Every structure is written in C-alpha cells, then in structure tokens.
A and B are shown apart, each in its own frame.
Chain A
Amino acid sequence: AQKVTQAQTEISVVEKEDVTLDCVYETRDTTYYLFWYKQPPSGELVFLIRRNSFDEQNEISGRYSWNFQKSTSSFNFTITASQVVDSAVYFCALRRNSGNTPLVFGKGTRLSVIA
C-alpha cells in the first residue's frame, strides 16, 4: 500500500524566515515518483516538482529546494526567505511506477507567512 504522511498540519512563520515542510512516504515498490503540489486560497492545485526514486540529488529552484532521502523515505521541501505569497496548503504525493496507478496525496500542510 502507498501512504504519504505530512505530520505538520499547520505552520506559521514570519516573512523572510526559512521553513521546511516534511513528507514521509511508505511504499513497497522500488521505483516510484514523488511530487509536491501547492494549493493557494484560490483552490487550484499547482504542480511544483517531480522526483524519480532513482534520483536522490537535491534540487533547487529559486527559493525552493527539495531534499530526497531514500534511506529515511523522506522528501522534504524548504522555502528560503518566505514571502506572504507562499501562504498556501502544500501537498506531497506518491505514485507507483507501474500500471494504471493513481497519485496518492498526503493530508497537506497549511503554511501561513505573516508580514
């Protein structure tokens, strides 16, 4: 069974602080994909990043960075120098790399960035 756990339900930070959103996953598969999505107040889920289970290189995109550690089944997301516009619910998701399998989401972390 596939499972994604986002233990942090809500996080509140002051603008310009760095913040890390945790994601831990469970799967018996050796190959899979991990994703992060952002859901701003408007409601639309916005794709942020995809990571192949074979690629453990960390990735940086502007103020966003992702730390994938297969040994601990974690795929954490860090926002550097947070801004008010980063306020949203962030979802981590997992998909098996076989067959017609759906994307399985965690429950999300609500991030509030205060000016």
Chain B
Amino acid sequence: GAGVSQTPSNKVTEKGKYVELRCDPISGHTALYWYRQSLGQGPEFLIYFQGTGAADDSGLPNDRFFAVRPEGSVSTLKIQRTERGDSAVYLCASSLTRATNSPLHFGNGTRLTVT
C-alpha cells in the first residue's frame, strides 16, 4: 500500500517568504507527526496530531511555525517569514494509533532551503 507522502520533495525559498509543506499519511492512520532533521542530526520533534487536534506542539521552535490537519488526514506545516536557520529536512510520520508502542512510518521528507 501507499506510504506517507510528502510534497514537495524539495523547496527553495528566499529569506522572509512563507512556505507550506504537505503531508499525506497512510490511509487509516490516526496519529500524525512532524519532525525536523538538520544535517548530521537525528530527527527533532515538532508537533503531533491525534485526529484533527494538535495533541502536543511543544517542539515548534517559535510562533512562525504552525501546522494544521483540518480533516484528520492531510496535514500542512506552515512557516512564516522564513529564516536561513529553518533550512532542514522536514519529516512527516504517521502511526495507526496514538499508542506509544505503535511504530511511526515516515515519509521521504521535504528538503527546505532558505537562501
């Protein structure tokens, strides 16, 4: 079956611009996660959705970052007034349930470059 799909795969934007990154989770997965991975580092948690609501957004670095999941399926990560330090690979993952033993299934990520 289809895995987690993220679009675009690459995004180059100028400093100060607004970007949206899209995640289409595995069908039927209720939990959705956003992570950010910088070069040479492990993924860092940003936000987690259970259904339509953000269950934990403690990883969002500041108020320029926002994410939505209006219908409990597709999610969009939005970054306002982008900065060069936002450059990273943004990973989306989904899991069948919110249970802590439910493995996360990751997409290929969106590589964001802010020039």
Chain A residues proximal to chain B, CB less than 8 Å:
4, 32-33, 35, 37, 42-47, 50, 52, 91, 93, 95-98, 100-108
Contact B50 A33 (CB under 8 A): no
A-B contacts at CB below 8 angstroms, number: 61
**Within 8 Å of chain A (Cβ to Cβ): is B16?**
no
Whether A100 and B101, one on each chain, are in contact in the complex, defined by CB atoms closer than 8 angstroms, is no
* B109 in contact with A108 (CB, 8 Å): no
Q: A45-B91, A45-B106 are in contact. Are A102 and B48 (CB under 8 A)?
A: yes
Nearest chain B CB to A21 CB, angstrom units? 13
| Interface residue? B8 (CB, 8 A) | no
Report which of B41, B42, B103, B108 forms a contact with A44, defined as CB distance below 8 A. Answer: B108
Q: Which residues of B contact A (CB under 8 A)?
A: 3, 33, 40-45, 48, 50, 55-56, 59, 89, 91, 93, 98, 100-101, 103-109
Q: How far is the CB of B14 from chain A (nearest CB, A)?
A: 24
Please name all residues of chain B whose beta carbon is closer than 8 Å to the beta carbon of A91 when the two chains form the complex: 42-43
Contact at A105–B100, with CB atoms within 8 Å? Answer: no
Contacts of A45 in B (CB 8 A): 43, 91, 93, 104, 106
